[in-house]
Structures are given as C-alpha cells and as structure tokens.
Chain A
Amino acid sequence: MRIGTILLVFALQPCGLNVSAQFLERPISGAGSALGGSWLAGTDFWSALGNQAGLAYREQLEMGVHYENRFMLSELGTSMIGAALPVKPGTLGLTFSHFGFTGYSLIGAGLGYGMFLAKGLSAGVSVAYTRMQITGDYLNAQAVTAEAGIQYHPAERFTIAVYAYNPTGSTLGDVGNLTSLMGVALIYYPSRYVMLTIQVDDDTQRKPAARIGLEMNANQKAALRLGYSSERPEGFTVGVGFPLKTFIIDFGLSHHQRLGFTPKLSVSYAFSKTSGKK
C-alpha cells in the first residue's frame, strides 16, 4: 500500500496534480481554499502566515492548527500549526507543517515577519526550511527558501497583493529545482457583507492559474464562501467560516470528479476577546 501511495504521489506530479501543493510546506487554509485558493490579499491569521505582508495586521498573539486530507487519503494528509507574535514594530509568524506518511514525508518550518512600511502599505518576508524524507536510503533532501509579499490598501474597500515564493530558486538537494511562484491578487468589498477576490498566480512547474472567490458574511457571525480555480484539481470550491468566542473555524471543500473530495479545516485562537478577522 505504501509503495503504491509513493507511486501515486509521483504519478500525480506530471499530471499537474501537485499533491505536495504548490506552496510546498504551507498548505492553504480552509478559508483560502474555499475561495478557489485566492488568499494572497487576505489579512486573516492564516493568509498572513502565507503572505507575510498580512502579518502587519495581526496585532494580537494568535495560534492555530490546520489539517487537510487530499482526496480523503490519509497518506496525503497535511497538518500544520502556526502562530502570530506581535513584536512592535511588526509581527512574527511561525509555522510547522508535515505532509505524507512514514514512507514519504515533507517537513517544513518557517519564520516570517511583516510590518507596515507606510500607511496602507505592508510588506513581509519569510525564511523556510523544508526537508523531504523517503524511508530507508532512498532519499533525504533539504532546502532553505525565501518568501516575500506586499499588500497595499489604497482605499478601505480595495486591496492589492503580490507574493513571491522561492524567488532565489533554491533547490531541494538532488531532487531538482523547487518551484518558484508568484501571484497577484485583488480584494474588493462591494458592501460590508460581501467580499470578492481575484488572484492570478503562476509557478515554474505548472500552468498559470486564475482564481476567483466570493465571501458573504452574516454580520461577522458566519461566512459562506464560494470559489473557482482554473487550475485542477481545485475547480469549484465551497466552504464556511464562523467565530466561536475567540476561536475562528474555517472549513473548505473541493471536489475532483475521479479522485473525490478534499476537506480542509483550520482553527485559530486569539489570546484576546477582541479577536476577529479584519
């Protein structure tokens, strides 16, 4: 079974089904996934851990856990824990993630920092360590990568974000080049109850993707999310999110016609009663 899963992992790569995710060591949260994977311009806890420019908006100590299961296969599960630590000026972000199983795994750790450079303009950077491990003597490889992002709010209802992953082209040992990625995203709030997101991203190992997302919230008490990604396997996505005291719970679901459902669940906790998404 495990050999079979390893084969599945590698067999899916050339099909564009990059099961290790385009952000190798950092999966997309339940909220971002439900928006078709368009999360770059978000300033919520999980988006901020992804595009570190968003960390500038995290003003309280927060922690979270995330779990996803690609196509309901336990061998393709990813778990992650993360934390945001305000340090003034700016905020630090910490992530630890694990993908795979005993036979094949990817372990990642990242340290990010984001701050405001000027009013409405924030920027962030991150350094991440990734280790690929295949049981036995097959392969052990590691890489250190950099990330950087910018978010700009020219007006209250409008956000532009840019993000680059691995711009320096780090390689994963003998395995080859790690993917480099760049994305641009816009968020627009037509009203306080509706959010539209558009994202275009491209990496060096797959076709460019266009993603759109729609979030409707009921007075900050619950949010319904819909999304679409031109890049498979995501396709159409759906999800919900709601706060529970100082917890925030986000769930996202995508479906592939042949491979089935991929659920994603993210939970974050703020050490303050005034927590909530910006």
Chain B
Amino acid sequence: MRPIAILILLTLILCSPAILSQQVPDVQQLVDNIVEEYAANLDSEQDLSELVDDLLLLSEKPLNLNTVSEESLQKLFFLSEFQINSLLSYRDSTGKIMSVYELQLVPGFDIIDVEHLMPFVVAGEPEQLITPADITGGQSEWVARLKSQLETPVGYSSQYSEISRYKGSKLAVNTRYRYRAAKLQVGINTEKDAGEPFFDGTFPLGIDYFSGYIMVNDIGMIKRLVVGDYRAEFGQGLTFWNSLTFGKLSSIYGAHRRGRGLAPHTSAYESLFLQGVGATVEIGKFDFSLFGSYQRIDANISDTVSTNNTYFSSLPETGYHRNFSESSNRKTLPELVIGGNITLNHRRLRAAATFVFDSIAGNYAVNLPIYRLAPVATRTSRLGLAWEYYYKCYHFFGEIGADLISSSSAILLGSDLKLSNTVQVSLLGRSYSKYYENRYTAGLAEGSGTSNEEGLLTGLNVLVAKGWRASGYLDLFRFPWMRYGVYSPSVGREVMFQSEHVLGRNLQGMVRYRYKQAERNVTGSNTPIVTVINQFRQNLRGQFSYQVGTIQLKTTMEMSFYRTDSLENYERGYLIAQDLAFKPEGYPISIYLRFAIFDTQSWDTRVYAYENDMLYSFTVPAYYSNGTRLMSLLKIQFRRNIDLWLRYSLTRYSLLDGIGSGPEQTTGSTSSEVKGMIRLRF
C-alpha cells in the first residue's frame, strides 16, 4: 500500500503544474479569500477578526499533520467534519504523511482544498519535547487603526442636547498588540469609538475599552490556561457560547457547530466576553475545564432605585459610551459567571457536560407587557449535555440545556449525513422554551436568541457535476410565544437555493435565491390589540468572479422583493456592484476598488453585500434608498514587517437630504469614511 501511495504521490506532484508553478502563497490574500467565503453570506456586520487571527496564527505555527489532533484540525473552519475524519482515518491506516501534497490522496480532498491548507499544515516529524523557544521564540504584532466619518453628525454640535451630545471627537482609534509563541499568547486591545472622549478624565484608563489576555497551552496536562478576557464555546451553544457564530447560511456546509472550548478574547467587541481565569486540563480521555469571570457590565439603570436594590431596564451591548446618557450605563452592574465542562473523547464519540452559573447584581424592571412575559434573568444556572458521534459517513450531534432556576430547557438534535461523495444532507431540529436564556447562549436560531423557538432545518449540498455545486436549505420555524415586534405566537419558513458553477478556467458564477415568510406587527396601528400580519421577502443574487493574471474581478447583481399582507404589490430593491482587486507583479501594493449602484424602494428591500476591507475589519453595508457607492482600498507592504492600509468609501444618495437619525444624523446627501491602519511585526 505504502509504495503505491508514494508512487501515486510522485505522479500527482509531477502532473500538477499548478502546484509546481505555484509561488509562495500570499497567506493574507488566502485568509481573506477563505474568510470572505463565509462573510459573503452574512446579512449584517460581524467581527470576524478572531477567525482571521486563528488562521494567521496557524500560518505562523502550522499544524503537524502527523501529530495533529482532531480538535486542532477543527480550527481550520473551512474543512468539513468529514474531511477531518477522513484525514485522521487516512493517517491511522497509512502511517506517517510524507508531504502536504499527499493530502490529494485522502478521500474528500481535492487540489483546491490542498491549496487552501498549504499555509496552515506541514508534514513534519512527531513533536519534540517543549523547548524554551515555544515560550520565548514567538512573534509580536502591533496594529493601529484610525477611522473617521467625513460628515459631522449633529451629535457633535455644541447646540445638541447636553445629555446626548458626544463628548469626544469623531475619530475612532483601535490598537491591538499580540505576542504569539507555540505555547504562549499575550494580547492587549484598546478602542476609542467615534464620539467617545479620549484621556479627558471620563474613563479611569483614559480610553473606553482596554482588554487583555495571557494564554498558555499544551504544557503537560494543561491544555489551556487563560487569564484576562476570554471566551468559551461548548457543545452546540445551548449551555454556554459567547463567541461569534455563523447563521443559517453556513449550514449548507454542515449544520454542526464546532466549539473551541476556552479561547482568548482577541476582538474589539466590547460586550459578552468573560473576565477572569479559565483552564482546561487533559487527563486521559477527559478534558476538564473550569472558568470564572467577575466584572462590571453595562446596564441602563432605571430611575427607581430602592434600598440596596438596583433596577435596570436593559443591558446595552453596543460598547458605545459617547455621551452622558451612554456613559452613565458604563460598567454599572457586577456580574459573576462560573462554569465548568467535562468532555470525554473516546474514538468517534465525544460527550460533554457543561455547567454555568450567572448572576447579575441587579433587578430587571420594565413594565411593558411584552418584557414582563420574557424578562431578562438576573440569575441563571444552566446544565447542559452535548454529544457527537461519527458512524461511517454519518455525523450525529446534539445538546440538551436546562435552566435550573427558570425550569426551562433547550434541545437541539442534528446530523450531517454524507450519503455519497457528492451528496451531503444536514438535518437539525431545535426546541427552545420561551424563558430559556439568551445571554451567553448561541444555538442555531431564526430569531434573536436561543429561546422561544422551534424549528426544523434541512440542508442539502450536492456536487452535481464537475464544476457545479448546488446547495440549499429549508427551515420551518415557529415562535410559541410573542417576541419583539410580533405580539402573538407566530410561524415562518425560509428557503434558500444556491448554484455555483465553474464556467471556465478562471471564471466562476453563482446564483442564489432566498425566500422567507414570517410574521410581524402591522405598523402604525393605534388599536389596543396589535394585528400581526405576514411578511414575505425574496432575494435573487447573481455573481461572476473571474481572475486574469494579477487582476481579480467580481460582478454582483441582486434583486430584493418585499411584501406584507397590507401591501398590495411587492416593493423592490436592486443592486449592481463591481469589485476589482489588483496586485501588480513585483510591487508590494494591492488595490481594491468597488463601485455599486443601488435603488431600493424601502428599508425592507435593502440589500447587503460584503465589501473588501483591511485586515481584521469586515464591512457588509446595507444598500438602501437610491444612489451609488464607491470604495477604494490600498495596501502597501514596506519590507517584510510593515503593512499599511488606506481606505476611502463614499455613498451618495439621490433622494435623501439627511442621513441617519438622532445624534448620528448628518445633513447632505453623502456619507463618507476614511480609514487607515498600520501593522508592525517584530
């Protein structure tokens, strides 16, 4: 078997001009492309910088294919569960992997997968003992990003009401420092949002957001020890998960969610992280994790404060502290989170139990009936059991979570079934009771959190022919009780179909259709009982991507349609966008341009389209009303250690004389932003 494999491998290498002629890949470009595949499916802006961080770290410290664990491979989120299992089975059956190119022999991998993997894996010798270099031989990176809107919103005017007037300048500043070694990671993040004061005495440290962490990993029994700000992801997100998750659209790649366990909080997202200590210890087949967090969180303290009791009306998560009103919410209530997890890894079975206790030292006080029915819990105590099991090409998983205080529960059962080499089916059923807690949970859901929802998601992914992949899902869901904006139990369904084609050597085409029906309150109703009506939303997108030499082009067209029971005709929205990326050979610069024209009849027919941005930044603007958008991004690399990004974007509206609302409102018909970032590596 082995000599044959080597022979085939040699043949593959010799017959792969693409590989032989391949230059040293531009890791950053590759990471951009991989993350974009996921980000392009997003319908709102999310901070994906942690994903980028993980991949960049792996590119600096590639995984050794001959020793890597399943858990480590899961960090490569673009690999499917089946590919990971297939790789591990291949290694078990054939022994040492000689070269990365050998992965082409692994069932489920093709040349594109191998090209994606190359920067992140090596076929090395079994690992040596820990050396001092694992701690001290790391690399540091410092990044500073400045951003400012060119128009000045009314909130900066001295005439604006004092309580809502912004105290600081409209310049936003973000810095991040990272030190990464094989066994040690250290990071510090700071951020001043636009409008926030800066070293004027408002904030104890001079700047609104200051975050840091130290993490050591894989030293003896200690699998991970993190001190400072961190995150935790377990099971399918029903018991504890406070990190980013992809929505339903990613379920076409598989409905299973991969928890990383404890991980440092590396982004500038200012809410819902943990602050304290967390550790994971590996003993035999078991991983034991314990984590604790104590910090003051943002809360909107209501006027009624009785003796020894603080009442709050909401827990803002925006991280903005720009004016008196927002600053008065800053870090007002203490929160204690304690949790633990035990995970058993036994062959193809993984089973885990998670426990979490969360206490916010305040009382929730809002008198609206809708909130009285679904209060913000100040004390939760959740216990969850999660499992996953591989049987041949079938992957079954699930989680049950129970809140012991509110006696509510959440259940998720799912499976990814590889029916053949070309057909994969995903099934996922979920049932979250109406009082189950949203905070620190992230089960797959149509609604805004892991509560008040039942649903069945069916996904299909078919490699129809060479160069043609069709995928889609059908999600049937119902909300057993009223929720925000829908004052009755409601139902809905969503269908998505996507067809991707390789039309030529350098040309790919994609068509995607989405249909969603859900219910909502009728707007403008003055009756005591609010009528709930159906709403229908459809989106049709066509996209061409082509690459010629050093030029990458992407043309996107999207139509959106929206109708409700009270609208006779569909409202329509249109977008045409052209992207161009250019990296001249021999020059250390990259240029990205976009021009888009849009025409939507209403906010409901807005169109979202992912836009290139600098490292660690993600832009998915909502195109709304009628106008054009221009974006230009320039990246310059000085030597090997210094990178500079400059970005300018301008949206012109034909029919608007003012944009935004409240203190964010600007006069005029344009909205523009300049952004710059520098990265030093040493």
Report chain A residues within 8 Å CB of B506: 154
In the complex the two chains form, is A202's CB within 8 Å of B597's CB? Answer: yes
In the complex the two chains form, is A182's CB within 8 Å of B551's CB? Answer: no
Residue B553 CB within 8 A of the other chain: yes
Known interface pairs A182-B628, A184-B557; A162-B578 also in contact (CB < 8 Å):
yes
Report chain B residues within 8 Å CB of A160: 544, 546, 555
Report chain A residues within 8 Å CB of B628: 167, 169, 180, 182, 204
* Count of inter-chain pairs, beta carbons less than 8 A: 82
Q: Name the one of B553, B578, B597 contacting A180, with C-beta atoms under 8 angstroms.
A: B597
How does the 8 Å CB contact mask read for A145-158 relative to B, with 1 for contact and 0 for none? 00010101011001
Report chain A residues within 8 Å CB of B549: 117-118, 121
Known interface pairs A121-B548, A180-B652, A208-B599; A154-B507 also in contact (CB < 8 Å):
yes
Q: How large is the interface on A (under 10, 10 to 19, 20 to 34, 35 or more residues)?
A: 20 to 34
In the complex the two chains form, is B599's CB within 8 Å of A182's CB? Answer: no
Q: How far is the CB of A183 from chain B (nearest CB, A)?
A: 7
Residue B574 CB within 8 A of the other chain: yes
Residue B595 CB within 8 A of the other chain: yes
Report chain B residues within 8 Å CB of A117: 548-549, 551
Residue B627 CB within 8 A of the other chain: yes
Cα–Cα distance between A228 and B464 once the two chains are bound (Å):
34
Report chain A residues within 8 Å CB of B578: 150, 162, 164, 182, 184
Interface of A is mostly: strand
Q: Which residue of A lies closest to B507 (CB)?
A: A154
In the complex the two chains form, is B551's CB within 8 Å of A118's CB? Answer: yes
In the complex the two chains form, is B553's CB within 8 Å of A152's CB? Answer: yes
Report chain A residues within 8 Å CB of B654: 177, 204-205
Residue B630 CB within 8 A of the other chain: yes
Interface size on B, residues (CB 8 A): 28
Report chain A residues within 8 Å CB of B544: 160
Cα–Cα distance between A80 and B576 once the two chains are bound (Å):
29
Report A135-176 residues with CB < 8 Å from chain B CB: 148, 150, 152, 154-155, 158, 160, 162, 164, 167-169
Cα–Cα distance between A167 and B578 once the two chains are bound (Å):
12
Q: Which residue of A lies closest to B669 (CB)?
A: A177
Cα–Cα distance between A180 and B630 once the two chains are bound (Å):
12
Residue B283 CB within 8 A of the other chain: no
Residue A232 CB within 8 A of the other chain: no
Residue A119 CB within 8 A of the other chain: yes
Report A104-139 residues with CB < 8 Å from chain B CB: 117-121
Residue B17 CB within 8 A of the other chain: no
Known interface pairs A182-B578, A184-B557; A204-B597 also in contact (CB < 8 Å):
yes
Known interface pairs A117-B551, A162-B578, A182-B596; A155-B504 also in contact (CB < 8 Å):
yes
Residue A203 CB within 8 A of the other chain: yes
In the complex the two chains form, is A164's CB within 8 Å of B595's CB? Answer: yes
Report chain B residues within 8 Å CB of A148: 595
Cα–Cα distance between A167 and B632 once the two chains are bound (Å):
12
Q: Name the one of B503, B553, B597 contacting A150, with C-beta atoms under 8 angstroms.
A: B553
Report B578-630 residues with CB < 8 Å from chain A CB: 578, 580, 595-599, 626-628, 630
**Residues of B bordering A, CB below 8 Å:** 503-507, 544, 546, 548-549, 551, 553, 555, 557, 574, 576, 578, 580, 595-599, 626-628, 630, 652, 654
Q: Could you list 28 A-B pairs, sorted by A, with CB under 8 Å?
A: A117-B549, A118-B549, A119-B548, A120-B548, A148-B595, A150-B553, A152-B546, A152-B548, A152-B553, A155-B504, A158-B503, A162-B553, A162-B578, A164-B578, A167-B595, A168-B630, A169-B652, A180-B627, A180-B628, A182-B578, A184-B578, A200-B576, A202-B599, A203-B597, A204-B628, A204-B654, A207-B599, A208-B574
